[in-house]
Structures are given as C-alpha cells and as structure tokens.
Chain A
Amino acid sequence: MLNPTRIQLPNGATLLAKTTTTTPAVAINLGVRAGSASDPAGEPGSAWLLSRVIDRGTSSRSAAELAEALDSRGITLTITVTRHLFTLACRCLADDFEPVLTLLADILTSPSIPDEELAIRKREVVTSIRQDDDSPAVRASEALMELLYPDGHPYGRRTKGSIPIVESLMRDELLALHGARFAPGELTAVIVGDVEMPRIVDAAGRALGGWQRPAPPPLAIPPVAPASARQRMVIPMMNKAQADIAYGFVTIARTDPDYYAFWLMNNVFGQYSIGGRLGDSIRERQGMAYYVSSALDANVAPGPLAIRAGVNPANVDRAVASIDEEIERLVRDGISPKELDDSRKFLVGSIPRALETNAAIATFLQTADFFGLGLDYDARLPDLLRSVTLEQTNAAARRALDTARATVVIAGPYAD
C-alpha cells in the first residue's frame, strides 16, 4: 500500500509525498489545474505555448542559467498539457532534490517569458503543427475529437492551437493566462523518491509556501450532447502508405459510479492482451492492421471512448465494418463471465507493476488527487474492480456503444 503523506500548505498548495528507497532518485510532478481547457476564448493553444516557454526564464534566472542548472544535473524537464492539467515533471538524483525543487518552483511561479525566447518557441510549435498536419494518425484523432466535441468545446480543440493563433500570441497574453489560472490552490506537488519525509516537507514549504495568489474562478465545461446519428469524415492524404482510423463516442465522466464497469468493458473490448476483441478480429484473425485498440478517457466532463487502427488503404472499409460488427456483437450478446474474469484478474494483478517506479507512483498519485479518489485509492482499487458485475459491464457497453451513433474518421491514402 502506498500510504502517501498529504499536506496542505498555508497558501493552499497541496503536497503529496511518498518516500521510496528503490533507487537513489526522486520523481517530482508539479501539476496545476490549468490545462488546455482553460485557454482563453478564441485563443486555443495558449496553454500549450506557455508550456513551451515557461521554463525559458524567470524573474531571477535567465534561460541560459536555467538550461545550465538542469543540464548539469542530467535533468530533462518534461512539461505536459492535458485538458485540465499543466504539469512540470522530472526525475533527479536524490542528492539534487532541494535545488531542483527550488528551480521547478521558480519556473512554475515566476516565468518572465522573454520575447526572444517566445519567438523561437513559436517557430518550434508552428513546425510541430505542420508535422501533425502530415501525420494521418494525429489528423484522424484530432478530427474525431472535433466531431465528438463540436462548437469550440474545450475537449474538441487542438491542444496546440492553429498556426495563425500561435503566431499572434504575445508575451502579455501568456502572462495574463498564467496570472489568471496559476495559483497555489490549483497546485498539487507530488514528490516520490529516496528522500526522508521531513526533508520533503521542509523543501516543499520553502520552495512553494511563499507563493501567494488568489484562487481563480472555477472553470465551466459546457455540456456535451452525444451524437444523435452516425457521422463519417474522410481526410485524403494521398502521399501516405497507410490509413489511420479513429472511431469513437462520448461516454462518461471519471466520477460516474459506472466508471469501473466502463473500464472493464473497454479492457475486454479493445485492450486485453493485444487489443482485446478488436485485436482478435482485426489483427489476429484478419491480419489487417499492425495496431488496433480502444481507449477510455473518462474526464471531468464526459470523455471519449476512441478506437484507433492503422490499416492498408485497401482494408479501410473492411476494418470499419469489423469494428461495427464487434460493437454490435458486444451490445447484443454481452461479454462472457470468463472474459470479465480474465480482464479483472489482469487489471488487479497489474497494480504492483504499475506502481513499481517513482515516476509511475507520482503519476498515479497525481491522477488520484486530481479526481479526489482518496489517499487509499491504490488499496481500494482491487475491490472496486472486483465489485463490478457482468450485468453492469454489459450495461456499460449498451450505454457507451452504438454503431448508429458512431463517429468515424479516416485519414490517409483513401477517398470515398
């Protein structure tokens, strides 16, 4: 059992920490509830661009000083932006823990966003958007999200934004976004590694305890209407060798009581072993695809269940028909007790493996904290999975999947 320590600092920041002694290293995750869903109206891509430039200068350190401080300790700072979280993450040697946490706190709380740095990072983001535009897998996935979450819904927008918007964003706008959404009450600092708890608490208090800023208003996520009819989009990319299919539905929020039934249903359908039932049909029996699987991303608002496959263009229609067939079979006949049992055994049995490394534990704790799952979530998880019945799992399939309301996107050397 992880049994982490959770402390609320006087300024409202949350510290979640766990001492481990497996390697002389530490994983640090500073997660702020300021993901792409908090991009200002009309400026999608702002949080992403901020993530590219936030670590390129602070009020007390230049970009070159930051680079030297990170590189000299062998540290790669990874900054990720999901719909709801903006996260600074790294691994460092245990001996470097205090100075590294101080550095990360400085980056998080006091970015200076120098104009010359912003100009360089904008070019990088523009290049990256152009690379995405040339990737059938990215194009298919992004188009699926736009169709499932239309009308500018935050889950439907491209996280990186568009080239004109990125080019137009200025330093003041990014600083304003930081000022509006980054505050201690929005921060959960997760620290896992070979450092004693008093040292962690002391260092976190000194690095983060002095940060003061009022809490932003809660973020309103507009409701989503699930698709009422089947929709299909083809993005012809004739210079490519393989086509990518993205096929999905809007499903449930993470707090939905049926979440664990959905999780097991999705595991049977498109995850177990090599892509679950979908993998059995499309990859193993028909040899049509190198990859096919489904992913459930239950979020603050109802998230997607997305099926993805990469297939030869000649097999696109057959692959889509096979996905339809598997959905119809699942909804009509349900899953077998053995399938449920197999997936449940796997998910429960994989918990020790999923919590082996410091970085994995840190990510697990960050997610558990974000969704308010409790400090004992790792201990409760096996029973949460064991309590799901066959009927609940089959009901989840009926609720989530319906070929008549599926959204299907095909990107690649294919045309209707």
Chain B
Amino acid sequence: MRRTTLDNGLKVLIQEEHTAPLASVWCWYKVGSKDERPGLTGVSHWCEHMNFKGTTNIPRDQVKGIIEEYGGSWNGYTWIDQTTYLETATRDALDRMLFIESERMARCLYHPDDVESERTVIISELQGGENDPDQLLDQELTATAFKAHTYRHPTIGWLSDLQTMTREDLFGYYRRYYVPDNAALVIVGDVDTEATLRRVAHHFGDIDPGGAIERIRTLEPDQTGERRLTIRKEGTTAYLKIGYHAPSASDAEFFPLLVLDAVLTGAKGLNLWSSFRVPPPQRSARLYRALVERGLASNVYGAMMPTEDPFLYTVSATATSGTALATVEAAMLAELDGVARDGVTGAELAKAKSQLRARLVFESDSVTNIAHQLGYFETIGSLDAYTEAPARIAAVTLEQVASAAGRVLAASNRTIGYFDPVPLGASEISKSEV
C-alpha cells in the first residue's frame, strides 16, 4: 500500500489488487456530526446529499449515469467522525471516478431548489428511522449517555434544525470542510500505482488547501452515576439497550474490548461497511446463552465500534413476547457485572481471537471493502489500528481483557435504556439520573 500526501495536503492511499478487473475509489472527509454546533445538527449529512446534485463541470442532469455507464455503483455515508463517497466500477472508469471526486471536493453547486427538495427527503429519512423502535432507542440512549460531547446528537440531526437550516448554512459548511487538507483519497483495485498517482495529481493538484479548521474541543466528562431512560410509545415489542462509555480506536484498551465484545456477543470484525451487516458467530457467546438460550430475548447484539473520540460500547436485546424488560435487564447485568468482576477464560479468549481472525479475512474480500477500511481508519487517525489489527488482536492477554472489562463495565459508567411499548395512548420519553 502506498501512502503519500500532495502539496495541497490531500492524503492519497493506493493499494493494487489484481484479483478482478475493478477499481474502487473512496474520498473521505474528516467531518461528521461531531463537528456540528447547536442549530446545525444534521448539516454534515445534508451536505452529503447536496454533493450528489451536480457540479460546475457535471451538470445536474448528467449526474445520473456518469458512473453507471461503466457498470459502476456509487454511494456515500455520513457518521459521527466522517463523511465519505465511493464509486466501484471496472478499472477503465478510474479516471472518471477521480474526476467525479475532484469535482465533488471543489465545485458542488448547492442550487436553492435542490436544497429545498432535499430538505423533505432528509426529513422523510428521519421519520423512516423513527418508525424503527430500536433505532429510536439507540438515538435516545446516545443523547442521554453524552451530555457534553457532540456525539450526543444523531447524525441525521434534530427535526427543528432540518426545518430551519438555510442554503448558506449548508454551503458555508461545505466550503469549510471540503478541502484537500481535510480529506483522504483511497484507490484500491486493478490499477498501477504510479500511473494512478499521476492522474490523482492531475485532478486534485490544483485545488487550494483550506488551512487549519477550528474543531469543537468539548470532551465528555466522566460519568458519575448510572443513567436511565424509558421510551413509552405504541408498539408491539420491548427493547433493552445498555451503553458504556468506551475508549477510542487509538486507545490501548480498544482491542481488549473488541475481544471482550466477541466473548459477550460474538465477533463482528472492524468493517462497518460490510461486517456489521453479517450476523456474528455468537451461539456460544455469554450474553446469547444468558438471554436467547433461556428464552428471554429473541436476539442480542453488541457494538464496539472504532471511533476517533471515546464513544459507547452498547449491548442490545429484543425481549421475547411476554418477558418483562426488568427480567432481561437483570440477566444481562448479571453477565456484564460478572465479566467486569472476573474477566474471561483462556478458552473464551482463544475462541474470540480465532473468530476475529476469520472475520478480518471475510471483511476484506472485495476492492470496495478493502478501500473502505483504509479510508475509515485513516480518517479517524488510526491507520495503524487497521494495518496492525491481526497482530494487536493476537497480542491481547487475559489480564488486559479483565482490566478493560472492570473499568468500562462499571455501573457508574452505564446508561440503561428501555423501549417499553404501550398498546394505545399517549407516548412519552422520560429520563432520570440515578
């Protein structure tokens, strides 16, 4: 893998993979919902939508088809730390893909009509998400667990901000963050590194850097007591979610916690683009046995995700019909408190490591997936965590897992959320700090 930086600050990562006649191009920006201030929540994600609406040299009506012509797919996503755009197509589309991304970086239009049309599309996306009780609970739990850090608001934004944000808000934000010195361009596939670098310089070399960006500096203070929230809303199914403040991807405790999550709920891997869509191997995992095998929950899931700042480790369960959430909670906490007290066994550690080893192979099976990983970890400032992941996982010890479990799974560090369905009547969200 070649990693270099252009004079204007654009980081370029190229990896040749000659297994299929394909190339995948991802352009990553170090801007996500954690960069948003009150009144502008959701602006990062809305900008992502606007950046598919035409540029100076790609008229609005020519966006459609520009990569499809090569049989290619395109997409983008925004999350708490990053915004990214990708195309994967046959290798002869490489120059076209670089052109698209250079246009997106410097020359998007933000036509007022498109801003208005996209406002309703995004509000529809928000409402679609609220139709899912589990997603609603996740949003409310995160907002309760964080009282200071900007991880507290959802990436989609709060409805009132989406209703009031202006074209100038969006365009100003775009100009501030979409600069080469705030981006990483990743190319993986059936390409020649030197020739690709020349084409990258051709497309991106003349874009001016933006200079230093002032970031929001607020850190989340230590949590000093368990927090709880209950959503009471019409529904058919009860959900439980517990979130613990957890370290960032660059923290020494990250990999011990990844192993711990594998022991508790089965290994996921490190690829949010692909691995988190495939259920983990979890039938012998502790929380699965304690909840699903005992008929208390129909599923259980853990998420220890690599992030730039300390985020949350969450464990979630869907209560089976007729099972009280308090019963699910008691069984879950018994396991979590037990592992916090006693750590895991040698056999569990070995199994978790072999699961993670397999998942790392499975999640690197396409040029798209490999390119995602390089860009994702580059953007959160932890490329080493990706390139050294196999070695770091192999090096995790029982003591490290026990120590990380004891610290992170403390009662005072957790937020417990219920989605408690009511058949009819008024909905409410109540919060309390214990």
Contact = CB atoms under 8 A, between A and B. Distances in A.
A263 to B, nearest CB: 15
B25 to A, nearest CB: 13
Contacts of B299: 124
A131 interface: yes
A120 B294 CA distance: 7
A285 B121 CA distance: 10
B164 interface: no
Interface string B272-298: 000000111111110000001101001
Nearest to A287: B117
Chain A CB within 10 Å, residue with most, of B131, B280, B285, B299: B131
Interface string B91-128: 00000000000000000000000001111111111111
A345 B19 CA distance: 23
B293 A120 contact: yes
A23 B415 CA distance: 40
B357 interface: yes
A19 interface: no
Contact of A71 (B69, B355, B362): B355
A127 B295 contact: no
Contacts of A76: 266, 278-281
Contacts of A407: none
A97 B391 CA distance: 24
A349 B72 contact: yes
B266 A342 contact: no
B130 A348 contact: no
Given A289-B121, A290-B125, A353-B89, A274 B318 contact: no
B352 to A, nearest CB: 9
Nearest to B125: A290
A281 to B, nearest CB: 12
A286 interface: yes
Nearest to B266: A71
Given A23-B365, A93-B358, A310-B128, A349 B90 contact: yes
Contacts of B351: 71-72
Contacts of A358: 365
A272 interface: yes
Interface stretch (A2-10, A41-49, A237-245, A328-336): A237-245
A351 B73 CA distance: 11
A346 B120 contact: no
Contacts of B150: none
A78 interface: yes
A137 B124 CA distance: 14
Contact of B73 (A348, A353, A359): A353
Contacts of A239: 233-235, 427
A135 to B, nearest CB: 7
B89 A349 contact: yes
Contact of B292 (A78, A124, A133): A124
Contacts of A346: 65, 68-69, 71
B249 interface: no
Contacts of B267: 74
B64 interface: yes
B356 to A, nearest CB: 7
A201 B73 CA distance: 36
Contact of B69 (A64, A126, A345): A345
Nearest to A90: B281
B20 A356 contact: yes
B186 interface: no
Chain B CB within 10 Å, residue with most, of A72, A290, A310: A290
Interface in B277-335: 278-285, 292-293, 295, 298-299, 318-321
Contacts of B196: none
A67 B358 contact: no
A238 B64 CA distance: 36
A349 B359 contact: no
Contact of B295 (A120, A134, A412): A120
B120 A241 contact: no
Contact of B284 (A71, A242, A312, A412): A71
A67 B281 CA distance: 9
B124 A67 contact: no
A70 interface: yes
Contacts of A64: 284
Interface string A356-391: 111100000000000000000000000000000000
B119 A287 contact: yes
A356 B22 contact: yes
Nearest to B122: A290
B200 to A, nearest CB: 22
A347 B22 CA distance: 15
A238 B426 CA distance: 12
Contact of A356 (B72, B128, B354, B366): B366
Nearest to A338: B65
Nearest to A21: B19
B367 interface: yes
B127 A130 contact: no
Nearest to A93: B358
Contact of B359 (A74, A242, A280): A74
Contacts of B19: 21-22, 356
A215 to B, nearest CB: 33
A315 B235 CA distance: 24
Given A22-B20, A290-B125, A356-B367, A70 B72 contact: no
A398 B285 CA distance: 54
Nearest to A91: B362
Contacts of A206: none
A312 B365 contact: no
Contacts of A68: 284
Contacts of A150: none
Nearest to B239: A131
B218 interface: no
Interface in A39-64: 64
Contacts of A353: 22, 71-73, 88-90
Interface in A127-143: 127-128, 130-131, 133-137
A290 B22 CA distance: 29
B305 to A, nearest CB: 19
A183 to B, nearest CB: 28
B321 A130 contact: yes
A134 B133 CA distance: 9
Interface string B402-430: 00000000000000000001000001000
B22 A287 contact: no
B364 interface: yes
Contacts of B356: 74
Given A74-B267, A342-B65, A356-B366, A67 B125 contact: no
A352 B89 CA distance: 9
Given A349-B90, A351-B71, A25 B362 contact: yes
Pairs A-B, 5 closest by C-beta atoms: A349-B71, A74-B358, A239-B234, A287-B117, A67-B283
7 contacts: A68-B284, A71-B282, A240-B130, A241-B127, A288-B120, A349-B70, A353-B89
Given A312-B123, A353-B72, 14 more contacts: A23-B362, A70-B281, A71-B285, A71-B355, A72-B284, A72-B351, A123-B298, A127-B321, A131-B237, A134-B421, A349-B70, A349-B72, A353-B73, A358-B365
